[in-house]
């Protein structure tokens, strides 16, 4: 789908059944592992995807969420039959609680990004871009924990090794940018960005080396730029949550045009909140 404000194309993962790309990785992991039950730590989109994948297999699902998870995403997770467990704020605290639930209840932990099968599932986005886009020069994708962009980069380097790959993360949540500069994973304070799907404190142990080796650039954008990107998407008829608009915000910042594909990663935001952000 073209973006009216610039000569770029959109890979609309917001059209997925659970409203984000996360269904790819969650489904791939559940189908491959055949667990008796699953647990994860999630801000919402991966939890919703895993809940659906588990429901399709008839197995229980537990999703650990922090207090800053949006009510909209909590309700969507619960609606699919998952049990929500609360944890203290922060990525590491959330992961620890999920690991404890996995051990105490005999469930399989399926991380939101740091798992080979999850990364491989997200990589199908890259395979589809390579198959569908003509004269492809650059692919821009949001960066949270790194599962999406590491999967895309792995797929594209195998198919179209010269394509430029750019990641975009929120300025208040710049753990990947800082880690790349340091040459190792670093931890940032709990992000306060509107991009709730990218409130990650440190890149994944598996995803970060892939980003180092296969992604050309990762940049940050402000929340104000994200809102502008949401508006540009809306003018093209695309409803996106803030994290889903990160790629377009980055492409507009860089002045990218023809030959660029931006991955719109999700749409899961309450309509009232979307309208509030759009109107200031």
Domains 2-17+116-279 and 22-109 alike in fold? yes
Of 57, 53, 5, 1, nearest to 251 (Cα)?
5
The CA distances from residue 49 to 56, 68, 148, 268, in Å, are 11, 19, 14, 12
Structure pTM?
A: 0.95
Indicate the Cα dihedral angle 135, 138, 141, 146, nearest 10°: 120
Output the pLDDT for position 278: 81
What integer is the mean pLDDT of 191-214? 97
CATH architecture of the domain 2-17+116-279 equals: 3-Layer(aba) Sandwich (3.40)
Kindly list the domain boundaries of the chain, sorted by start residue.
Answer: 2-17+116-279, 22-109
pLDDT bucket at 280, cuts 50 / 70 / 90: low
**Sheet order of strands, 38-41 included:** 83-86, 61-65, 38-41, 108-109
Q: Is a pLDDT exceeding 80 seen at residue 267?
A: yes
pLDDT digits (tens, 9 = 90+) for 103-115: 999 999 999 999 9
Show the tokens assigned to 205.
């142990």
d(CA 220, CA 51): 31
In the sheet with 217-221, reading across from the earlier edge strand, the strands are 2-3, 8-12, 260-264, 138-142, 164-170, 217-221
Q: 167 exposed, middle or buried (CB, 10 Å; 0-12, 13-18, 19+)? A: buried
pLDDT at 2 over 80: no
- The rounded mean pLDDT for the chain is 96
Distance CA 261, CA 254 (A): 13
The Cα 165–Cα 125 span in angstroms is 13
Share of the chain above pLDDT 70, in %: 99
Burial of 204 per CB tally in 10 Å (0-12, 13-18, 19+): buried
Angle at alpha carbon of residue 217, lines to 120 and 121, rounded to 5°: 10
Confidence (pLDDT) at 252: 96
User: How much is the pLDDT for 4?
Assistant: 73
φ, ψ of residue 141 in degrees (nearest 5): -140, 150
Architecture of domain 22-109: 3-Layer(aba) Sandwich (3.40)
- Tell whether the model's pLDDT for residue 1 goes beyond 80: no
Work out the pLDDT band at 7, boundaries 50, 70, 90: confident
Per-residue pLDDT of 126-167, as tens digits, reads 999 999 988 999 999 999 999 999 999 999 999 999 999 999
Q: What are phi and psi of 259, to 5 degrees?
A: 90, 5
Q: Which of the four pLDDT bands, split at 50, 70 and 90, describes residue 38?
A: very high
């Amino acid at each position: 789908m073209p973006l009216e404000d610039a000569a770029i194309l959109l890979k609309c993962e917001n059209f997925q059944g659970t409203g984000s790309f996360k269904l790819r990785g969650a489904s791939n992991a559940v189908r491959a592992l055949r667990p008796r039950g699953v647990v994860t730590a999630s801000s919402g989109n991966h939890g919703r995807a895993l809940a659906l994948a588990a429901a399709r297999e008839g197995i229980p699902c537990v999703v650990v969420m922090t207090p800053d998870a949006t009510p909209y995403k909590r309700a969507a997770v619960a609606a699919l039959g998952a049990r929500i467990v609360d944890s203290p704020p922060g990525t590491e605290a959330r992961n620890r609680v999920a690991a404890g639930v996995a051990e105490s209840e005999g469930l399989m932990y399926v991380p939101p990004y740091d798992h080979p099968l999850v990364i491989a599932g997200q990589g199908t986005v890259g395979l589809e871009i390579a198959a569908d886009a003509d004269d492809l020069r650059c692919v821009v994708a949001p960066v949270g924990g790194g599962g999406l962009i590491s999967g895309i980069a792995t797929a594209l380097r195998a198919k179209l090794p010269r394509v430029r790959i750019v990641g975009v993360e929120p300025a208040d949540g710049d753990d990947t940018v800082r880690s790349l500069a340091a040459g190792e994973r670093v931890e940032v304070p709990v992000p306060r960005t509107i991009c709730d799907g990218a409130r990650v404190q440190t890149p994944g142990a598996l995803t970060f080396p892939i980003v180092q080796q296969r992604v050309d650039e990762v940049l940050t954008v402000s929340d104000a730029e994200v809102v502008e990107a949401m508006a540009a998407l809306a003018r093209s008829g695309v409803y996106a949550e803030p994290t889903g608009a990160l790629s377009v915000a980055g492409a507009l910042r860089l002045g990218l045009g023809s030959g660029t594909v931006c991955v719109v990663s999700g749409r899961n935001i309450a309509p009232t909140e979307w309208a509030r952000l759009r109107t200031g």
